[in-house]
Amino acid sequence: MRKWISFPKQEGTSSRQAHADFPEQAIYEREAGRSGFFGPATHFHHQHAPTGWSEWEGPLKPRAFDFNQLTEQAPENPWLTPDLLSNNSCKFRIWHCSENMPYLVRNADGDDLLFVHEGSGHLYCDYGHIHLVKGDYFLVPRSTNWRLEPGEKMELLMIETTNGSYQLPEKGIVGNHAVFDPAVLDTPAIDDEFKAQYSEDSWKVYVKRHQQVSVITYPYNPLDAIGWHGDLAPVRLNWRDIRPLMSHRYHLPPSAHTTFVAERFVVCTFVPRPIESDPGALKVPFYHNNDDYDEVLFYHEGDFFSRDNIDRGMVTFHPAGFTHGPHPKAFKAGREHKKKFTDEVAVMLDTRDALQMSDAAMKVENPDYVYSWQEK
């Protein structure tokens, strides 16, 4: 048995409430916390921005990648798509699919979470047929056979929970129907379109296990189910069905926006919402230490109100070990309450274990991002 050392203290001049009513002489708040906003935490009040470094040496640094430039390395088979960020529990990929898949794929390493960044298409799997559109999450259980028929070129974010599974977060006192009602989760259907693809022709299944691919050939299409029943199935969730938790007097931590939970990481979704209106409340993400988790943000749509010069399709990566937070212009705009509503849509991956960057990711890195917090 173990227990965090916990005895809340106060020293010097500080606010009574985190993320609100800062002392006049120190407008910069920094949160040092453990266990990804669930453990003990202390809030410091600084005279200078905690991200005000003038020089940085060494590999531990904030990074930004323009994954829009990856189209030239776009194999049609998802298992040939390179990992961009990865550890033993998680694989983060960007996959482009422009043609109908004449074969099936199966991931024997773990569940896959697909997020449709661009395009739309029809997905066929063991459980039936479903139409995916831009902004959809689609959770594929481990060892499910599936294939895509894009109606237009599709770009998908793929997050694999290696040797694990995805579950929904506990919603605590706000109840099971908060953030999104489980009733909005859609499953594939054994419909006419699914039945139309029954076939006695030869089909191949590309199975990934331990990052190696085996090919199984059938003299018929294995997607031949006539029905199913049970409580294990792929599910679809569109970000537009997410109704974010909000507080007009308090800036909620990223953990309030958790969408899916895996064994060693979480996936959160930031969607449009009103900005805090209380005069004393912080109106942008607070400066905080990355002490236990690596943080990855995939920018899908909108104006990313805490970042400068970050466009859709780009990714920022803040590994554990330093303080980060809003860029100077965003912080100033928050102080002046210039915006009343955010219109951003972003997918966040927080991993308990350190992520490794691949060569493919490094080729599209912006090396100047580490200095983007400097006042211009």
Question: What is the pLDDT at residue 73?
Answer: 57
As a whole number of angstroms, the distance between CA 242 and CA 184 comes to 9
Instruction: Tell me what pLDDT residue 305 has.
Output: 63
pLDDT score recorded for residue 283: 80
Q: What are 96-128's pLDDT values in tens digits? A: 999 999 999 999 999 999 999 999 999 999 999
- Residue that is written with structure tokens 């708040």 in the block: 29
pLDDT at position 376: 66
**Alpha carbon 1 to chain centroid distance?**
32
Low-confidence ranges of the chain (pLDDT < 70): 71-74, 305-306, 376
- Indicate if 251 belongs to the active site: yes
CA distance 319 to 60: 7
Predicted pLDDT of residue 251: 84
Cα distances (Å, whole numbers) of residue 320 to 263, 289, 354? 18, 8, 8
Q: Per the structure block, which two tokens stand in for 343?
A: 């219109």
Return d(Cα 123, Cα 125) in angstroms, integer: 7
162 φ/ψ angles, rounded to the nearest 5 degrees: -65, 125
pLDDT at 19: 78
Same fold, 28-53+245-371 and 88-239: yes
C-alpha span between 164 and 126 (Å, rounded): 20
pTM for this predicted structure? 0.92
pLDDT number for residue 18: 76
CA dist 318 and 350 (Å) reads 10
DSSP state of 184: G
- For 332-343, the DSSP string reads HHHHTT--SEE-
Binding residues for Fe cation: 288, 294, 324
- pLDDT, residue 290, reads 74
- The domain spans of the chain are 28-53+245-371, 88-239
> According to CATH, what is the number of the domain 28-53+245-371?
2.60.120.10
Instruction: Name 158's bridge partners.
Output: 93, 114
For the annotated binding site, the residues are: 288, 294, 324
pLDDT digits (tens, 9 = 90+) for 213-237: 999 999 999 999 999 999 999 999 9
Q: What CATH class has 88-239?
A: mainly beta
CB 94 within 8 Å of CB 159:
no
- Which of 251, 355, 213 lies closest to 295, judged by CA? 355
Distance CA 346, CA 355 (A): 19
Candidates 19, 43, 251, 300; catalytic one = 251
Residues annotated in the binding site for homogentisate, as ranges? Answer: 324
